[in-house]
Amino acid sequence: MKFRIYFTLARGVVLESVRRKDLWVVAILGLVVLATASTIGFFGSSGLEVFIKDLSATVLGLFATVVATVVSCRVIPDEVKNRTLYPLLARPISRLDFIIGKWLGAVLVTWIGFALLLITTSIALAGFHVPFEWIMLQYVFLKLLGLALICSIGICLSTLLTPPAAVTLTFISTYGVAMVSRGLSLGYAHASPLGQWTSKAISALLPQTQLFDISGRAVYVGWQLVPLWVVGALTLYCIVYSGAMLTMSFLRMQKKAL
Amino acid sequence: MVAATAVGLAGVCGLVAGPTEPIVHPVVRVAALDADSSNASQSLVGQMRTSLSAWLYMRADLYLHNGVELRTLSQQEIQDGRVAVGSSDHLEASDASSVTVIPSAENDYRGVFGDIERACSTYKPMEGHGHQRPTQALPLFRLMTMADPQFIAGWTMGSSILAGDHAKSSTAKALAYLKDGLRQNLRCIELWSAIGILYAANEKDYIAARDYLNIARGLGQRTSHLSQPESDALRETYRWLALIANEIDTPFDRIRIAREGLEIFPDDPLLSRLG
């Protein structure tokens, strides 16, 4: 029964995204990518395989993150703004169901957008005779998990902040964590015991989204597949962290006067 | 792919635009960024080209290390006695003071997160590491100098990589590449010096080498404020001129050149020995 609710809510998000032409933009962007990729043929692709893979992974990751952030930070505020939330909650749909359904919808839209970009990028890579490697499948799987995690962060922040602020903070939490982590690593050895404890706490609390991006291994030459225990640990982390984010969203929604 | 297109377009712009003459001549050139025009849009495009070439230079470095990111040791770490990774082939001098950006297990406080990052990213212990075949990064050097012909490090490092290839024609290719750069940077001490050194070290053509090195020396003398790369190039110029004088001129010439160099670089051990 619950799955039917989730499916209906998620389907609504996808249809709304199609209506707002989000996915069309992604599809057109993909076609532009495909069309313009041929310009690199001007230089000849011999010796540039790593460079082409590197650029593809960078662009793919960036666009997919943009889609995940924008879609997830918008779904709930839009329902409140358009007053479509009230008829929804008047039905036998709890606030938790509503959040889970919206999250699933945002994840679905992001994954569809990612798939569209992936297809066009794969065609472009095939055009440059870049061979397929198994680690690319691991890259896609972990990227999908990472995007789901970003969606949960976006949903959570959108219940606390205005949509623009939520988008900004989601971006910062996606791309800034690695930088913060490096900074803390540099200062850790000379920090006071309290400082060291704080560093550990910050590290544990911040979303480790950068761990889901194994594009480096997929791009450069001769790297082995990621060990299965790592894939399992990241899957578990995604479930636990996304669950925590959605729980926080639910608690916030519970307190929110609609 | 969009970025690839941007790189492509910037390269084409670089080719089509041809050489531009700076309208101002700052005494100190900051990281190869020259003000080519007072026009805001041209200045912006110029900055984009400079940023693009600098980014490509960083990528080339990453390719040489097969994706493993390195960083320079901090002063604090040096004082603490932390050991740099070093390299086995000495392709890059900077490796002597570098460590991996992702810390090793013993230097990482993050526990399982650190273990996961080391297992899923491009990390490996880099002590005494080697480098990927540098020729793989060559197209990037060509791209970066197309995007910004005034990016001197792109010309000098690219030529070093070309010359380091053991093919017969490698020196000729490196010289052609440097002369291409020289056509667009006629007042560049580094390029005149690099060409002269290549002639001397690889071709043993001391006469041609002396001509190029003397132009670099003249440029150095006429420049009141030298940037660090220019200063390094001038120091090398004096060293090689003194060595060449030792080969084909009189000892008096060698001493004269070395002493002239010592006036600018009084702490240079090689010039002290030759002078």
Task: Among A6-15, A97-106, A205-214, B45-54, name the one with the lowest average pLDDT.
Answer: B45-54
* Partner-chain contact B136 A55, CB within 8 Å: no
Contact between B109 and A210 using a beta-carbon 8 Å cutoff: no
Mean pLDDT of the B183-208 span? 93
For the segment A160-206, what is each residue's pLDDT rounded down to a tens digit?
999 999 999 999 988 888 888 888 888 888 889 999 999 999 989 99
Check: complex ipTM more than 0.90: no
Measure A150 CA to nearest chain B CA, in Å.
18
Chain B positions touching A36 (Cβ under 8 A) are 1-2, 4-5
Q: Select the residue of A121, A142, A230 nearest B1 (Cβ to Cβ).
A: A121
Distance, in Å, from the CA atom of B114 to the CA atom of B99, rounded to the nearest integer, reads 16
Q: Is the pLDDT of residue B31 over 60?
A: no
Could you say which DSSP state residue A91 is in? S
pLDDT at A67 over 70: yes
Per-residue confidence (pLDDT) for residue B25, from 0 to 100: 45
Residue A13 touches chain B, beta carbons under 8 Å: no
| pLDDT for A168 | 94
Least confident of A173-187, B10-24, B57-71, B163-177: B10-24
Give pLDDT, residue B80. Answer: 81
Report pLDDT digits (tens) over B32-63.
Answer: 445 455 677 777 888 888 888 888 888 888 88
The minimum CA-CA distance between B142 and chain A, rounded to whole Å, is 9
Q: What average pLDDT does range B171-196 have in this prediction?
A: 93
Name the minimum distance, in Å, from the CA of A85 to any CA of chain B.
38
Q: Do A55 and B1 touch (CB under 8 A)?
A: yes
pLDDT in tens, B102-124: 988 888 888 899 999 999 999 98
User: What residue has token string 């962007």?
Assistant: A29
Chain B residue nearest residue A211, CA to CA: B117
pLDDT, mean over chain B: 82
Residue B3 has pLDDT above 90, yes or no: no
A to B CB pairs, distance under 8 Å: 115
* Model pLDDT, residue B32: 46
**Cα–Cα distance measured from residue A103 to residue A246, given in angstroms and rounded to the nearest whole number:** 8
8 Å CB contact of B116 and A211: yes
As a whole number, the mean pLDDT across chain A is 88
Alpha-carbon distance B30 to nearest alpha carbon in chain A (angstroms): 26
Out of A33-47, A50-64, B13-27, B190-204, least confident range: B13-27
The three-state (H, E, C) secondary structure of chain B, written as one string: CHHHHHHHHHHHHHHHHCCCCCCCCCCCCECCECCCCCCHHHHHHHHHHHHHHHHHHHHHHHHHCCCCCEEECCHHHHHCCCCCCCECCCCCHHHHHEEECCCCHHHCCCCHHHHHHHHHCCCCCCCCECCCCHHHHHHHHHHHHHHCCCCHHHHHHHHHHHHHCCCCCHHHHHHHHHHHHHHHCCCCHHHHHHHHHHHHHHHCCHHHHHHHHHHHHHHHHHCCCCCHHHHHHHHHHHHHHHHHHHHHCCHHHHHHHHHHHHHHCCCCHHHHHHC
